[in-house]
Amino acid sequence: MTDPYMAQLSLDDALVEPHAYIRRDAKPTSRDAGLQAMPRSATRRYCVLEAIAIAGERGRTDDELIVQLGVPHQSVGPRRLELVEGGWIEDSGQRRRTRTGADAIVWVLTEGGAAKWRAAS
């Protein structure tokens, strides 16, 4: 039998930040609270948030996050999605070219995310 908590973790992330994940069977209110909570320092989710916050209005693409953080794309995408779902970041409407020449979404802090980031810093 698979543990629903661990089933959603890659091996890489299970070693880095298992506490940052929400159980698949979590009630919607618990899931939302977990996503809206400030990511813990030194977790991948925190590192992604910090890189976007530091970039300010310029924001970051997933490709830029991969290069800057030195992590595989399988680690950036899910953490960025958690930050979007938690209301921390949003699509800026801007697009920038990736290393492969494709257009990519530029992610920036939401107004609420920026306020929480400033309060925590």
Positions of the chain with pLDDT under 50: 1-20
pLDDT confidence of residue 40:
72
Instruction: Look at the alpha carbons of 66, 72, 77, 80 in this order and tell me if their dihedral is positive or negative.
Output: negative
pLDDT confidence of residue 107:
98
- H or E element, residue 113: helix 111-120
For tokens 């992330």, the residue is 13
pLDDT confidence of residue 106:
98
Query: How far apart are alpha carbons 98 and 26 in whole angstroms?
Result: 36
pLDDT confidence of residue 15:
33
**What domains can you pick out in the chain, each with its CATH number?**
4-120 (1.10.10.10)
The residue count of the chain comes to 121
